[in-house]
Amino acid sequence: MTATEWIEEWLKEFPSDKILVENARKMGDTDEDIKHFLEGI
């Protein structure tokens, strides 16, 4: 599973995190970076 797929699955379970993911992408974070961040929550 790619980081992008993992994030999509995460957002199905935690849809309120969508704005967090969108903002991180706008700031230049990769999906791998975002995945590592979300795993730490």
CA 36 distance to own-chain centroid: 8
The count of structural domains within the chain is 1
| Cα(30)–Cα(13) distance, integer angstroms | 21
Q: Give the CA distances from residue 16 to residues 9, 11, 20, 30, in Å, rounded to whole numbers and listed in that order.
A: 13, 8, 8, 19
Block residue for tokens 């979300």: 38
Domain of residue 9 covers 3-39
How much is the pLDDT for 41? 85
Nearest one of 38, 27, 19, 16 to 4, comparing CA atoms: 38
For residue range 1-41, list pLDDT tens digits in order. 999 999 999 999 999 999 999 999 999 999 999 999 999 98
- Give Dmax over CA atoms of the chain in angstroms: 24
